[in-house]
Structure 1
Amino acid sequence: MGTSGSGRMDGSGRGAEVSGKVHVRQRGAVLWLTVANPNSNELTADIRLQLMQALDAAAEDGAIRAVVLGAERARFPHQVPFGEFDTGLADPTPMDLAGRIESMPVPVVARLQGQVQGAWAELALAAHVRVAALNVKMGFPNVALGLPPMAGASQRLPRITGARQALALLLSGRAYPATADLFSGAIDKVVPLPELADTAQALALAAAETGSWMRSLDRADGLLDPAAYQEEINRRRLAVQRAGRAAEDAIVEMVEAALLLPVDTALVLERALFEELLVSEESRGLRHAMESRIRVANLPPGQPVALVGMLRSGAGAVRLAADLAAQGVGIVMAHEDKAERHSFRNAVAANLEARLKRGAMKAPAVRRAVESVKTTANPAHLGQVEVVIDSAPDTKAAKSAALQDIAAVAGPDAVVLSTTRHLDLAALAPQAIRPRVVGLHLPQRPYPARLAELVIGDSAARATVARAGRLMHQVGRLPARVRPADGLAGGAMMGALLDAADCLVRHGEDPMEMDHEMRALGFARGPYGMLSDIDMDAYLARQERRGLTRGLSVLMAQAGLRLNTGSDPESERAALDSLVSEARRGEAPEPLGLGGQGQWFALLGAMVNEGARLLDQRVAHKPMLLDMVMVQGYGFPRRLGGPMHAADTIGLFRLIRIMRACAPFGPRIWDPHPLLVDMQRNSRTFAALNR
């Protein structure tokens, strides 16, 4: 064997290091192909080509009787680079590679460990034998990107498992343990990790010796009961048609094709549907949302945090302490008042017990978490912690005092996380700890919201950023690095949305209709429904700082009116109408007649205008950060990608034209920011600014 990316081995089990990321080693008559890509999950065209060349050479080498395919440790790259999705898959495509694996003249054993997802899971199905370690979780997450399988999984999986298991795996996008019933028949053997290599070698030799191996596309185990298969197809089709998601509909059609069409025709259908959805707006939006999440949250690497200190209690501190303790992080809460310490520990324990009741944690884990929460009357004990978390009131005076207290007791390397929505905390901190101070905002929502805005100024040390980011990852949060600003990034973008909604209401638009239209687009809440989820006092304080005290959103926050609670819709509507009349100052203006799409474009234009301001002032360094913040913290639909991506989709020329039409009603809201005007004049996009 003498191809690029591979090398000829002797029978000793040792081989030369290859150029590239595919390592080759020969153990007797079995060739081992091992992908080494430790710093990336991307299955690049280069890696695919090296694998293809190594397989081609093995097919021509009469001394090779079997192949074992796997990865170093547990990191077989599984994600096709996002750039390839945008420009077209390079050759060889994952489908090409899967076809080469399956067509090999010798058996190929897929050696699976750790996370086996996406393209790697599809390639594993193309192998003739699959052996998995007990730590394997396997899944097909393409559907989360608005895409069906791309490498034959829609045909191989149902032929092996049947329609029920195949559709459950392909439609959910979730990763399941290798021992799950869903993989019955798809994974040939599951063994402890230390036994994986020897088992893979033994299975490869046995398959070569006996000839007892079959190509997945030749199998028909899952097609033995056509009536039951079609019944499952019909059931799933009804469900996905109601949901209206194109990728799920395509998956059902593909799996049905496994029963009804010849293999080659069904594979052509899979490729055609994949390529059709690849250029859809929905898939582009979902891919952008995923790429934004990955790139924005990728802060400098840091070591896991083991011990965190807190100086104060409060609802936010209790939730965060419970999150940390649930992940095995020790907590030390210091307070001079014994009753305050007792109340804090009991509140954390209650939070953890609630997780036990809803099945989110098991009893032993809850006990360990509760035991990890310690309290002390002596603040000096915080000198041993790696991170100090402060939740003092979000005012200059309170934060200055709190940071002074922390500086007196914190260790020389401790990072300080202090909650804020608008302050430059490093500027308020004593000089001694200034490079180690980071502002923190953790949105709390009744729907999934993983955002953590980290407010990081110019003086922050790299180690500080790394530790703060790592701690947020430990509790399942996605850190977004922003510079100090009133409202940070998310609050400012949400404020622009509510400013625009208030202006539209003042000129005759109906707030309930506006909320309905936004939810129909996929928002978790409409503008006024969102008021129920945010801290109304913090919102009122920001509006007062901005001199905006008469809009409907402010009146609702002052009255504590929350929409869509379901308790008394008639009284809710009557209270809203009264506040609408007050916001309009008793006038009854004719509605602007924007319609649902016009309202959406007007609201989007306000957010994009604010986003341009945040970019210009360097509060956010890239448009995708603003998209990630809104998707992960403020209920913006993933399928739209975020407000800046949505602006690219609509086109800045069209959006600016709509903004200028709205500007007479609210110049501060809709007069296009100079950055937008410059971008439109020079045919630039936000996507280009992300590069």
Structure 2
Amino acid sequence: MTKGTGCGALALAPAGKWKGGQMAQAAGAVEVRIGEGIVWVVMTGDAANRLTPELRGALLTELARAEADPAVACIVLQGAGACFSEGDDPTELEGPHATPDPATLCRRVEGCAKPVIAAMHGAALGTGAELALAAHYRIAAPGTRFGLPNVALGLTPAAGASQRLPRLVGAGPALDLMLSGQAIALEAAPAGLIDHLARGPIEEETRAFCAELRAEGLGPRPAAQRREGFAAPLAYQQAVAARRAKVAGSGNPAPPEIVAAVEAAQLLPFAGGLEFEADAYDTCRETEASAALRAVAAAERAAASAMTPARRAPHRVAVLGEGPLALPLVQALLPVAAGVDWGCDAPDVLHDGVIALHRRLEAARQGGSISEEVVEERLSRLRVGAPADMARSAGCILLAGPGQREVAAPAGVSRLVAYPGRVREVGLRFAPAPLGARLVEVIAGPEAQVEQIAEAEALAQQMGCLAIRVRSGGESVGGRLFDAWCRAADALVDMGQSPEAIDAACRDWGWRRGPFLRRDQMGLLRLGAQTRAEGAVNWASALAESGRMGRENGAGFYDWTEVGVPLASAEVDALVVARRPAAPALPADMLRLLLIGAMANEGARMLATGMLRRASDLDLVALEVLEMPRWRGGPMLAALRMGARAVREALASVAHPDRAFWAPHPLWDDLVTTGGADWPQR
């Protein structure tokens, strides 16, 4: 079998009952065609060809018909539209799969008495990829993406991938695919995964592939009987051991189970390995961590579906200003905008900025992430000059710093405020920063127009970001959450707790950087403006006044070594004790409950005022801005897991001068009354 490149479209006619190889009417989620001894079974579900129970049942039916027809020599599985299949319907992940489940379908495909060929294009993901693995042969159009993303949901594969894939490609490549959850282009597939990369129209090449199978007398080739991946037993075991060490201590339950399942593939009979995988899938699905990961994925889908439908983004974007956001914005926009015009009143700032941009792009080139041609192409689309000149031909204007609000804009061109400050119309807040941002808060101010919001969301999509719509006069969800986190942590210190113990409670929960470590790394002087109630202390300001500025000068809430390692500080302990009375140490779970509860309480206020539409949007912001562990799900979900009644009572019990901050919002009463299943949506 030879490899090549190319792809083509498949002209389909419906088929169903089979008589002597003739076409007849078919129904439902597949279309079928028979000719030249080949049955084409084409998935025609939704746009992603998700393997719903209906589609799985239809595939089983047509597979049985093809197997029973003497005129059929080969069976081809293919997807209609833009892809092969993107796998499960997400709604099925919350419980056991309906009958027939994906594992049953894949076992039936693998056990077919006639060769089954998966002809892939677009994407084969999740159980879609597992269906392709169950086929006896795999053909792919160029650019086809193949991936097993279950790990991102806290789940193992569900239909045999942990047993079939290592038999084909070995433990190392199989584990890398399953543990990363990332899709790969099949041009770069590990040896053994695909049998042919198409050069021309995929239908033609699949037909030729089938003819070659028949000419060579090649029949079914079940992955269960393949052993190429086991050819080097010691290397296989070493790969398993290395990945096991790498995922040790993971809060996500899936990675250790995936490693164990791949180990089982070498040690157990195939049927036993499938049972091992099924048990691991069920075990993972029932964990709180997997439920949280699935909730986050659902929140992302909800936020994406709420975005204004994608439209053509502006041809040119003008970035105006010289603040710290300007250069990162320019760099982030260059790969996606038709052109970027950077306007600034200070020519020396522009000169230095362009030099810095050259250095950044050159560093990326030397790191291998972009080519020299890409560097030159991006720089060719950059213009710099006076703000008024740069704004004149822009399709959209981003204000990167103050002082640019009065620059004239062409009629109908939106001006989006990208720096913290007042927003009358529309603003953008990138999380965590413009360059590499995964999320953007689209701030809809009191004078926002629908078209401006749509343009902001289109720009976010163009930059590959998820947009969260926020209604405020400039305040961001991320900013309010960060302030609430620090305010609660400082209050706990006021009440006798130590900064180190509070950070440790976060760290033990999987939250890598607690509120005091995080502020040390940011610099304490800049955080002194955070307000506190009378009688409450802003401990960042207190330490800065004593000369402890954070990591930048080697002393903040922690003492910092020359290589950047934070150590507990006796000086801080003494300073804190001198300013407030001692108190018994609270257990770590109570410290976490109060921190999470305070943030969720602030989230309740945002929901009640209409600043946010969904509690899950706040969770998404928290994951990016506060770096909360994804497998905990964010403060709104975590608070529900801790129990609405327990959180309300804990907040009400806090005796602290900042009473307005700690007072439970009335939404907690509603949650307790209704059983605390979920937050309301607006």
TM-score range, shorter chain: 0.7 to 0.9
**C-alpha distance after superposition, 1:431-454 (max 9, x if no partner):** xxxxxxx21112446997522111
SS in 2 for 1:92: coil
Shift of 1:536: 6.8
**C-alpha distance after superposition, 1:426-473 (max 9, x if no partner):** 2xxxxxxxxxxx211124469975221110247544443333223223
Question: Aligned letter for 1:186?
Answer: L
Q: Which runs of 5+ in 2 are unaligned?
A: 1-13
Partner residue in 2 for 1:185: 192
What is the CA–CA distance in structure 2 between the aligned matches of 1:329 and 1:572, rounded to whole Å?
51
SS in 2 for 1:543: coil
CA contact (8 A) 2:319 2:399 kept: yes
What is the CA–CA distance in structure 2 between the aligned matches of 1:424 and 1:547, rounded to whole Å?
29
**C-alpha distance after superposition, 1:641-686 (max 9, x if no partner):** 1111112222212222322232556432332110111111121422
Question: Aligned letter for 2:427?
Answer: G
CA contact (8 A) 1:611 1:626 kept: yes
**C-alpha distance after superposition, 1:541-569 (max 9, x if no partner):** 5538x889832134356764245654377
What is the CA–CA distance in structure 1 between the aligned matches of 2:523 and 2:314, rounded to whole Å?
29
Shift of 1:336: 5.0
What is the CA–CA distance in structure 1 between the aligned matches of 2:347 and 2:658, rounded to whole Å?
53
Question: Aligned letter for 2:517?
Answer: G
Q: For structure 1, which segment, 121-130 or 31-40, has the greater mean C-alpha deviation from structure 2 after superposition?
A: 31-40
Matched, 1:203 2:227: no
Partner residue in 2 for 1:621: 613
Shift of 1:247: 1.5
Specify which of 318, 331, 344 is matched with residue 340 of structure 2.
331
Instruction: Assess, with a 3 A threshold, how the Cα gap between structure 1 residues 168 and 101 changes in structure 2: closer, same or farther.
Output: same
Instruction: Assess, with a 3 A threshold, how the Cα gap between structure 1 residues 121 and 620 changes in structure 2: closer, same or farther.
Output: same
Matched, 1:160 2:149: no
Shift of 1:289: 1.9
What is the CA–CA distance in structure 1 between the aligned matches of 2:324 and 2:22, rounded to whole Å?
59
Q: For structure 1, which segment, 351-360 or 126-135, has the greater mean C-alpha deviation from structure 2 after superposition?
A: 351-360
What is the CA–CA distance in structure 1 between the aligned matches of 2:70 and 2:106, rounded to whole Å?
22
CA contact (8 A) 1:335 1:379 kept: no
Matched, 1:555 2:542: yes
Shift of 1:588: 4.4
Specify which of 593, 598, 601 is matched with residue 593 of structure 2.
601
Question: Aligned letter for 2:550?
Answer: L
Shift of 1:629: 0.6
Identity %: 30
CA contact (8 A) 2:632 2:638 kept: yes
Shift of 1:592: 4.0
Shift of 1:28: 3.2
Matched, 1:674 2:666: yes
What is the CA–CA distance in structure 2 between the aligned matches of 1:550 and 1:315, rounded to whole Å?
29
SS in 2 for 1:603: helix
Q: Mapping of 1:513-552 within 5 angstroms?
A: 513-532=501-520, 540-541=528-529, 543=531, 550-552=537-539
Q: Which runs of 5+ in 1 are unaligned?
A: 427-437
Partner residue in 1 for 2:624: 632
Matched, 1:481 2:469: yes
SS in 2 for 1:273: helix
What is the CA–CA distance in structure 2 between the aligned matches of 1:197 and 1:515, rounded to whole Å?
59
Matched, 1:641 2:628: no
Question: Aligned letter for 1:561?
Answer: G
Q: For structure 1, which segment, 305-314 or 490-499, has the greater mean C-alpha deviation from structure 2 after superposition?
A: 305-314
What is the CA–CA distance in structure 1 between the aligned matches of 2:351 and 2:130, rounded to whole Å?
53
> Structure 1 or 2: larger helix share?
1
Q: For structure 1, which segment, 135-144 or 267-276, has the greater mean C-alpha deviation from structure 2 after superposition?
A: 135-144
Partner residue in 2 for 1:294: 301
Shift of 1:42: 4.2
Shift of 1:477: 2.6
Partner residue in 2 for 1:435: none
Question: Aligned letter for 1:466?
Answer: A
**C-alpha distance after superposition, 1:579-605 (max 9, x if no partner):** 635xxxx34422342121111111011
Instruction: Assess, with a 3 A threshold, how the Cα gap between structure 1 residues 674 and 37 changes in structure 2: closer, same or farther.
Output: same
Q: Mapping of 1:235-314 within 5 angstroms?
A: 235-243=242-250, 245-298=252-305, 299-300=307-308, 301-314=310-323
**C-alpha distance after superposition, 1:16-57 (max 9, x if no partner):** 7x6544333334332223334564574433333333333233
CA contact (8 A) 2:340 2:382 kept: yes
Q: For structure 1, which segment, 78-87 or 337-346, has the greater mean C-alpha deviation from structure 2 after superposition?
A: 337-346
What is the CA–CA distance in structure 2 between the aligned matches of 1:529 and 1:42, rounded to whole Å?
44
Partner residue in 1 for 2:5: none
CA contact (8 A) 2:47 2:81 kept: no
Shift of 1:112: 1.8
Specify which of 118, 133, 138 is matched with residue 125 of structure 1.
133
CA contact (8 A) 1:307 1:329 kept: yes
Partner residue in 1 for 2:6: none
SS in 2 for 1:183: coil
CA contact (8 A) 1:11 1:26 kept: no
Instruction: Assess, with a 3 A threshold, how the Cα gap between structure 1 residues 185 and 380 changes in structure 2: closer, same or farther.
Output: same
Partner residue in 2 for 1:320: 329
Shift of 1:690: 6.0
What TM-score, normalized by structure 1, do the two folds share? 0.86
Shift of 1:359: 3.3
Q: Mapping of 1:273-672 within 5 angstroms?
A: 273-298=280-305, 299-300=307-308, 301-327=310-336, 329-335=338-344, 337-377=346-386, 379-380=388-389, 382-393=391-402, 398=403, 402-405=404-407, 408-412=408-412, 414-421=413-420, 423-426=422-425, 438-444=426-432, 450-457=438-445, 460-484=448-472, 487-532=475-520, 540-541=528-529, 543=531, 550-556=537-543, 560-562=549-551, 566-567=561-562, 573=569, 576-577=572-573, 580=576, 586-663=578-655, 666-672=658-664
Matched, 1:105 2:113: yes
What is the CA–CA distance in structure 2 between the aligned matches of 1:587 and 1:338, rounded to whole Å?
49
Partner residue in 2 for 1:35: 43
CA contact (8 A) 1:422 1:488 kept: no
**C-alpha distance after superposition, 1:589-630 (max 9, x if no partner):** 223421211111110110111111111111110111011111
Partner residue in 2 for 1:431: none
Cα root mean square deviation, aligned: 3.2
Instruction: Assess, with a 3 A threshold, how the Cα gap between structure 1 residues 378 and 263 changes in structure 2: closer, same or farther.
Output: closer
Question: Aligned letter for 1:654?
Answer: A
SS in 1 for 2:325: helix
Q: For structure 1, which segment, 243-252 or 593-602, has the greater mean C-alpha deviation from structure 2 after superposition?
A: 243-252
Partner residue in 1 for 2:55: 47
**C-alpha distance after superposition, 1:324-370 (max 9, x if no partner):** 11335411123455434433433333332332343332222111111
What is the CA–CA distance in structure 2 between the aligned matches of 1:381 and 1:235, rounded to whole Å?
53
| Equivalences, count | 657
SS in 1 for 2:156: coil
Question: Aligned letter for 1:145?
Answer: L
Instruction: Assess, with a 3 A threshold, how the Cα gap between structure 1 residues 338 and 456 changes in structure 2: closer, same or farther.
Output: same
SS in 2 for 1:598: helix
CA contact (8 A) 1:447 1:524 kept: no
**C-alpha distance after superposition, 1:504-529 (max 9, x if no partner):** 10111111221122123222421122
CA contact (8 A) 2:494 2:580 kept: no
Specify which of 670, 677, 681 is matched with residue 685 of structure 1.
677
What is the CA–CA distance in structure 2 between the aligned matches of 1:85 and 1:460, rounded to whole Å?
38
Q: For structure 1, which segment, 148-157 or 669-678, has the greater mean C-alpha deviation from structure 2 after superposition?
A: 669-678
CA contact (8 A) 2:342 2:390 kept: no
**C-alpha distance after superposition, 1:76-105 (max 9, x if no partner):** 332423332223322222212212222223
Q: For structure 1, which segment, 571-580 or 77-86, has the greater mean C-alpha deviation from structure 2 after superposition?
A: 571-580
What is the CA–CA distance in structure 1 between the aligned matches of 2:60 and 2:449, rounded to whole Å?
45
SS in 1 for 2:84: coil
Q: For structure 1, which segment, 207-216 or 506-515, has the greater mean C-alpha deviation from structure 2 after superposition?
A: 207-216
